[in-house]
Amino acid sequence: MNSSLDTLATARRSIRKYVDKEVPESAIREMIALAATAPSPSNQQPVRYVRMVSQDVRHRVFTDMETGYESRVSQAKKLEKPRKAINILNHYRRYSRFMCHAPALFAVGVEKGGASFSKRMNRAGIPMGEALGVMGKDISLGLSLQLFMLGAVEQGLGTCILTAPLHFLDSDNPIVGLENLRVGCFVTLGFPDETPVDPGRKPLAEIYWEA
């Protein structure tokens, strides 16, 4: 394959260092518009991008993350052999903190609620539990994000998805302004200040076969 899509997809890297330069709002709007073309179950379009512009909110997320990290470290220290757990916590923290310095930061999530198949059937009079393995909203989130990230590459911008910070944030204490969303990840955005090497991909035979 040698299409422009292939070029964009292979050029995309997770960027964790950014030039200190504002991202034009017009670029963000184009990326969101591209992301909005993603398919979703019954065209529900559940994905939301919340740009975190308030320094207060960003600071609050940072301090909540640090508090979550510290409390897990204290827990780990009570173990007979704490090193392993502390190493994991430090790794996740290292891959979380850079988001606080990114020129643009988004919380990306899906709307809470909505009528699933089983809820609609229950209402129609047939009691049903949630089906196993149905991840419509998560799939929608991923499809949308991929377009968002490719849209960034097209404009000379870099992104990085982050889920590590969510492990330090308390789900009982939602991020201010995001109470109606189930946040799936954060995404950083800016002009890249690094050119990471391609970390490589598994061979086709490992990810595709006939059964």
Residues of this chain that bind ligand FMN (CB under 6 A): 13-14, 16, 95, 160-164, 185, 196, 199
Minimum distance of ligand FMN from residue 72's CB (angstroms): 15
Q: What is the CA radius of gyration of the chain?
A: 20
Task: Give the CB-nearest residue to ligand FMN.
Answer: 164
| Residue 34 · residue 148 · CB < 8 Å | yes
Q: Which is nearer to ligand FMN, 16 or 137 (CB)?
A: 16
Shortest Å, Cβ 111 to ligand FMN:
19
Distance CA(93)–CA(76), nearest Å, equals 15
Toward ligand FMN, which CB reaches closer, 206 or 210? 206
**156 phi/psi in degrees, rounded to 5:** 75, 15
Closest distance between ligand FMN and the C-beta of residue 194, in Å?
11
At CB < 8 A and 24+ separation, what contacts does 6-13 make? 8/150, 8/153, 8/154, 9/150, 10/198, 11/153, 12/149, 12/150, 12/152, 12/153, 12/159, 13/158, 13/195, 13/196, 13/198
Which residue in 171, 167, 190 sits closest to 179, CA to CA?
Answer: 171
- Alpha carbon separation from 179 to 21, 96, 113, 175, 176 (Å, rounded): 30, 21, 12, 7, 7
Shortest Cβ 163–ligand FMN spacing (Å)? 4
Least distance CB 109 / ligand FMN (angstroms): 13
Pick between residue 23 and residue 99 the one whose CB is nearest to ligand FMN: 99
Identity of the residue, 13 or 23, whose beta carbon is nearer to ligand FMN in the bound complex:
13
- Compute the least distance from the CB of residue 106 to ligand FMN, in Å: 14
Nearer to ligand FMN, 24 or 196 (CB): 196
Q: Find out whether 175 and 107 touch, Cβ atoms under 8 Å.
A: yes
Which C-beta is closer to ligand FMN: that of 113 or that of 196?
196
How far, in Å, CA of 166 to CA of 183, rounded? 9
